């Protein structure tokens, strides 16, 4: 074999150091290829994403526009209230951006194979950290752009502001993003260095704690603000709850002030706070990158080190759960379900998301009775019953789309095993359906019961809500399993990527449509039930609407499972 | 010396993955590194390539200590891991272009060099398809071609034969042998003892983090005091007595 000689001497070649810009160009090439692939192979998905984004932007713009027009009618109150809107918005963004950057950077630097490849090349750790940091800021700031642009457009539209407002808003946004980003980068390093074996769990618990604090905060605010007697003391109490948001050292305060001064047509003061935000972001980023680059190798080594202790999985608890919950099935089908149950219980990503979502809903329901000391009128009962039903079914739709749809595909490269099992293929499909239905029903029914108790619903309407929820569980699980078998992706090992493919997109649309139809029919059920003053009876129209909701859910499940089983039966392994 | 490992130790908690090993590999040598699963092969390789820092001891590559001159040392090395890493959204050509620029290869000769090594490893036919569609064998070939691109002084490969068809496996063995004959160094860890027997100049065997034998095949046979095959010598030297104990947590789920 002959090598090709380079005109550059070896000594000079070995001293060449690949730059940050080379790595950045690599990331841009990957992004370009990804977009090209989307437009060539799945233009429908791309159009849908653009369509959804445009709808969300427009919807948010209209909501913000109405809110600011409403506030504008109360000039004196607006002077007090409007700054709090910005303070609260950017304070929330600080926490959310910091958290999302920590998650993204941890994944990029310590969980994937890419840093292992880059660390064996002549790339300096600082360049590796810097490019991963910039990538994480780019992806995590999308939420800010999604909310920020409609907010900016609405304020500018309502107030009739000049160009420098938009420039200040965008500049402050971009300058603000690295501040929580730098904090997130350091948090990721801390987890890699000191909690390497518990990274996923730590991030999961942290997200749960943050969301619980948010709900507690909103709950207290709601309880304070829910009164018909608005006095000076009431205003004082409410603003007192929010006073910490205006702390002068918070970056969210600087951003709010920059935008506030820009609205008041005071570009000089706006520029001062804009400059402070930008410079702080740059300084914090520089320090964070330097710190992480210095510790990158030991942190990477810790994150990828061999476990110092093993875990012995006895599995008796999962076996007991499965044999109890699925006693009515054959031993072979229970064995298939046991495999999936263990997979679910041993993957904190799955059950913790369900626990967090339903936990938040439970907290909201806990605060609900405390917000009205004189109880709920019939109209309020009906309205809250409907809203709770929609909230529960939307959460179920999210869960089934993310975790149930990929179940068939996740058999992956060992799908041929399913073909060899002593079960018919339809039995395998029904086993997966029954497992998914049981998990979702076990999660949804206690929350449904809690929501019925929270507003003291009459038994008949409570039963109607339970029946509709169970039917929705059947419908959503049937859709997810059936469509998951109809459009499987056995090559992809990651559940989230399977959910975001063509089949996952179709399932998402179908799930949301089912929730929308069920929600509408349940709304009619509640509306007609209000004819009975205390909701103690269901007249014919209510019954028909409820029956239609249940039938549609069952039909969706039956249809999807049929087409899924048919495809699975003829699947080549 | 191309590779100098001097009394290196690496611990993970109470587990001593590498326990005071010393190795030297000369320029122009093809060194095969053998050991059972969990013996410390991959940990040693990760320390050699700068992924892990030893708890004690030192590692130098082509005279550059990893602890102080890591960038210079890495410029001399190419590492091919057991699980080949490719960016799924890059083509083979784009990936090799990136690696070539990473190692500072002159842009005037880089395209020609890419074509040369792609042809050598039969990658040309799918060079412009995204890597996410490649089989394991295809990925292995692309990663190896990219590793050879900057003509490293030291080629470190971890389990290079896994997933390769016989023709490609033969090509890879020939490349390694030619590379060593041209004065460069190949450090190869493998479970395929026949490959080590066929092409290696020297063989090192590690067990429970310690070097239990090191030398040419004839020297190992002499040490075993019998005219055995390498497989028999290996099994004798790596008898699974006294495996390291680890704490055990019991989980009921």
* Chain A residues with beta carbon closer than 8 angstroms to that of B72: 14-15, 122
Nearest to B92 by CA among B119, B120, B126: B126
* Chain B residues with beta carbon closer than 8 angstroms to that of A312: 248-251
CA B18 to chain centre: 16
Cβ of B246 within 8 Å of Cβ of A3? The answer is no
**pLDDT tens digits, residue range B155-168?**
999 988 887 888 88
Cβ of A1 within 8 Å of Cβ of B108? The answer is no
Residues 6+ apart with CB under 8 A from A4: B109, B112, B113, B116, B151
Nearest to A509 by CA among A420, A401, A424: A401
Nearest to A480 by CA among A552, A413, A397, A549: A397
Q: Are strands B64-65 and B154-158 parallel, antiparallel or unpaired?
A: unpaired
Instruction: Measure CB to CB from residue B106 to each of A7, A14, A308 and give the nearest one.
Output: A7
Triad A246, A104, A116: Cα angle to 5° = 145
217-236 of A, contacting B, C-beta below 8 A = none
CA distance A344 to A348: 8
Bridge-partner residues for B9, per DSSP? B56
Cβ of A116 within 8 Å of Cβ of B89? The answer is no
Instruction: Measure CB to CB from residue B252 to each of A16, A116, A316 and give the nearest one.
Output: A316
What is the H or E stretch that residue A87 is in? helix A75-106
Going by pLDDT thresholds of 50, 70 and 90, the confidence category of residue A374 is low
Q: What is the pLDDT of residue A187?
A: 92
* Chain A residues with beta carbon closer than 8 angstroms to that of B83: 113
Q: What is the pLDDT of residue A571?
A: 77
- pLDDT for residue B238 is more than 80: no
Q: What is the pLDDT of residue A223?
A: 67
Find, in chain A, the residue whose alpha carbon is nearest to that of B38.
A306
Distance set, CA B191 to CA A307, A550, B188, B209 (Å): 23, 60, 10, 16
77-136 of A, contacting B, C-beta below 8 A = 113-114, 116-117, 119-124
Find, in chain B, the residue whose alpha carbon is nearest to that of A124.
B71
Cβ of A313 within 8 Å of Cβ of B49? The answer is no
- Per-residue burial over A185-201, b if 16 or more Cβ lie within 10 Å, else e, is bbbbbbbbbeebeebbe
- pLDDT mean over A170-194: 91
All domains in chain B, ordered by first residue? 3-83+155-237 (3.40.50.300)
155-194 of B, contacting A, C-beta below 8 A = 174-175, 178-179, 182
Q: What is the pLDDT of residue A85?
A: 74
Determine contact: B225 vs chain A, CB below 8 A.
Answer: no
Cβ of A301 within 8 Å of Cβ of B53? The answer is yes
Cβ of B85 within 8 Å of Cβ of A317? The answer is no
Determine contact: B107 vs chain A, CB below 8 A.
Answer: no
Q: Are B196 and B32 in contact (CB under 8 A)?
A: yes
- pLDDT mean over A279-299: 94
Token pair belonging to A228: 């018909």
Q: Are B32 and B186 in contact (CB under 8 A)?
A: no
Nearest to A355 by CA among A473, A478, A455, A447: A447
Other Cβ atoms closer than 10 A to A343: 13
Q: Are A256 and A83 in contact (CB under 8 A)?
A: yes
Residue B201: what are its φ and ψ, rounded to 5°? -80, -40
**pLDDT tens digits, residue range A388-426?**
898 889 889 988 988 899 888 887 666 777 777 788 888
- pLDDT mean over B49-78: 90
Q: Find the range with the poorest average confidence among A454-463, A524-533, B238-247.
A: B238-247
Distance set, CA B46 to CA A401, A457, B208 (Å): 40, 64, 17
Mean per-residue pLDDT over chain A, rounded: 82
- pLDDT for residue A535 is more than 90: no
Determine contact: A11 vs chain B, CB below 8 A.
Answer: no
Find, in chain B, the residue whose alpha carbon is nearest to that of A321.
B253
- Say what the ipTM of the complex is: 0.85
Q: What is the pLDDT of residue A15?
A: 39
Q: Are A289 and A133 in contact (CB under 8 A)?
A: yes
Nearest to A185 by CA among A246, A249, A140: A140
Q: Are B208 and B17 in contact (CB under 8 A)?
A: no
270-299 of A, contacting B, C-beta below 8 A = 297-298
- pLDDT for residue A8 is more than 50: no
Q: What is the pLDDT of residue A147?
A: 80
A122/A456: higher pLDDT: A122
CA distance B223 to B230: 12
Other Cβ atoms closer than 10 A to B231: 12
Q: For chain B, give the secondary structure using H, E and C.
A: CCEEEEEEEEEECCEEEEEEEEEEECCCCEEEEECCCCCCHHHHHHHHCCCCCCCEEEEEECCEECCCCHHHHHHHEEEECCCCCCCCCCEHHHHHHHHHHHCCCCCCCHHHHHHHHHHHCCCHHHCCCEHHHCCHHHHHHHHHHHHHCCCCCEEEEECCCCCCCHHHHHHHHHHHHHHHHCCCEEEEECCCHHHHHHHCCEEEEEECCEEEEEECHHHHHHHHCCCCCHHHHHHHHCCCCCCCCCEEEEECC
A8/A292: higher pLDDT: A292
Residue to test with chain B: of A33, A110, A201, A293, most B Cβ within 10 A: A33
Determine contact: A324 vs chain B, CB below 8 A.
Answer: no
Token pair belonging to A262: 């820009």
- pLDDT for residue A16 is more than 50: no
**pLDDT tens digits, residue range A185-212?**
999 999 898 887 777 677 777 777 777 7
Looking up tokens 């053998």, which residue turns up? B34
**pLDDT tens digits, residue range B107-121?**
899 999 999 999 988
Cβ of B104 within 8 Å of Cβ of A16? The answer is yes
A443/A561: higher pLDDT: A561
**pLDDT tens digits, residue range A328-350?**
888 888 888 888 888 877 776 67
Determine contact: B83 vs chain A, CB below 8 A.
Answer: yes
Instruction: Measure CB to CB from residue B101 to each of A4, A14, A22 and give the nearest one.
Output: A22
Q: Find the range with the poorest average confidence among A65-79, A152-166, A171-185, B56-70.
A: A65-79
- pLDDT mean over A460-483: 92
Cβ of A120 within 8 Å of Cβ of B50? The answer is yes
């Amino acid at each position: 074999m002959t090598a090709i000689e380079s005109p550059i001497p070896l000594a000079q070649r070995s001293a060449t150091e690949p730059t940050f810009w080379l790595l950045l160009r690599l990331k841009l090439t990957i992004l370009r290829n990804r977009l090209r692939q989307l437009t060539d192979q799945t233009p429908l998905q791309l159009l849908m994403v653009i369509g959804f984004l445009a709808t969300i932007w427009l919807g948010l713009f209209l909501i913000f526009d109405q809110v600011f027009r409403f506030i504008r009618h109360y000039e004196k109150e607006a002077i007090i209230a409007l700054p709090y809107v910005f303070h609260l918005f950017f304070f929330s963004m600080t926490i959310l951006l910091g958290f999302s950057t920590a998650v993204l950077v941890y994944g990029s630097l310590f969980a994937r194979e890419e840093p292992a490849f880059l660390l064996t090349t002549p790339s300096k750790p600082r360049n590796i950290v810097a490019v991963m940091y910039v990538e994480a800021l780019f992806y995590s700031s999308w939420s800010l752009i999604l909310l920020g642009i409609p907010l900016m457009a609405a304020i500018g539209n309502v107030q009739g502001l000049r160009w420098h407002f938009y420039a200040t808003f965008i500049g402050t946004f971009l300058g603000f993003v690295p501040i929580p980003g730098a904090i997130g980068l350091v948090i990721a390093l801390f987890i890699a260095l000191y909690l390497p074996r518990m990274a996923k769990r730590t991030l999961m618990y942290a997200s749960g704690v943050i969301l619980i604090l948010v709900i507690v905060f909103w709950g207290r605010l709601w309880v304070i603000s829910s009164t018909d007697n608005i006095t000076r003391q009431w205003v004082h109490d409410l603003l007192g709850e929010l006073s910490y948001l205006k702390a002068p050292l918070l970056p969210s305060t600087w951003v709010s002030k920059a935008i506030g001064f820009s609205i008041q047509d005071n570009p000089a003061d706006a520029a001062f706070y804009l400059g402070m935000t930008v410079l702080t972001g740059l300084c914090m980023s520089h320090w964070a990158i330097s710190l992480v680059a210095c510790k990158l190798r030991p942190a990477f080594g810790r994150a990828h080190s061999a476990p110092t202790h093993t875990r012995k999985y006895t599995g008796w608890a999962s076996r007991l759960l499965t044999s109890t919950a699925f006693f009515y099935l054959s031993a072979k089908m229970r064995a298939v379900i046991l495999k999936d149950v263990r997979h679910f219980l041993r993957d904190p990503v799955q059950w913790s998301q369900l626990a967090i979502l339903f936990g938040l809903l439970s907290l909201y329901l806990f605060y609900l009775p405390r917000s009205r000391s004189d109880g709920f009128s019939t109209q309020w009962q009906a309205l809250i019953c409907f809203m709770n039903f929609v909230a529960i079914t939307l959460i179920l739709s999210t869960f089934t789309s993310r975790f149930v749809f990929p179940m068939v595909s996740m058999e992956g490269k060992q799908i041929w095993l399913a073909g060899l099992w002593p079960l018919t293929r339809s039995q395998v499909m029904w086993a997966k359906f029954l497992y998914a239905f049981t998990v979702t029903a076990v999660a949804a029914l206690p929350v449904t019961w809690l929501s019925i108790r929270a507003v003291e619903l009459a038994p008949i309407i409570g039963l109607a809500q339970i029946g509709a929820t169970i039917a929705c569980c059947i419908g959503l699980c049937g859709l997810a399993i059936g469509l998951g078998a109809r459009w499987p992706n056995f090559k992809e090992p990651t559940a989230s990527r399977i959910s975001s493919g063509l089949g996952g997109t179709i399932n998402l649309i179908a799930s949301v449509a089912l929730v929308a139809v069920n929600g509408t029919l349940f709304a009619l059920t509640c509306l007609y039930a209000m004819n009975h003053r205390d909701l103690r009876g269901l007249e014919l129209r209510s019954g028909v609407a409820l029956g239609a909701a249940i039938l549609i859910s069952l039909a969706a499940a039956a249809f999807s499972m049929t087409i899924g089983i048919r495809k699975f039966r003829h699947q080549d392994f | 010396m191309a590779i100098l490992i001097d009394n290196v130790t690496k611990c993970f908690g109470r587990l001593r993955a590498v326990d005071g090993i010393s190795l030297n590999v000369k320029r122009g040598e093809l060194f095969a590194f053998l050991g059972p699963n969990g013996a410390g092969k991959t940990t040693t390789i990760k320390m050699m390539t700068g992924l892990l820092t030893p708890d004690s001891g030192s590692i130098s590559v082509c005279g550059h200590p990893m602890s102080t001159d890591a960038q210079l040392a890495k410029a001399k090395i190419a590492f091919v891991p057991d699980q080949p890493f490719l960016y799924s959204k890059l083509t083979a050509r784009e990936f090799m272009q990136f690696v070539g620029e990473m190692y500072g290869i002159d842009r005037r000769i880089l395209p020609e060099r890419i074509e040369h090594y792609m042809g050598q490893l039969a990658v040309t036919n799918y060079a412009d398809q995204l890597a996410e569609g490649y089989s394991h064998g295809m990925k292995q070939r692309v990663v190896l071609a990219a590793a050879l691109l900057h003509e490293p002084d030291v080629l470190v490969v971890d389990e290079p034969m896994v997933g390769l068809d016989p023709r490609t496996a033969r090509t890879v063995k020939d490349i390694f042998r030619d590379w060593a004959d041209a004065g460069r160094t190949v450090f190869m860890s493998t479970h395929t003892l026949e490959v080590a027997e066929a092409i290696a100049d020297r063989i090192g065997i590690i067990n429970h983090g310690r070097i239990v034998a090191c030398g040419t095949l004839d020297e190992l046979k002499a040490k075993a005091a019998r005219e055995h095959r390498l497989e028999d010598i290996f099994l004798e030297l790596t008898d699974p007595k006294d495996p390291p104990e680890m704490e055990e947590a019991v989980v009921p789920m």
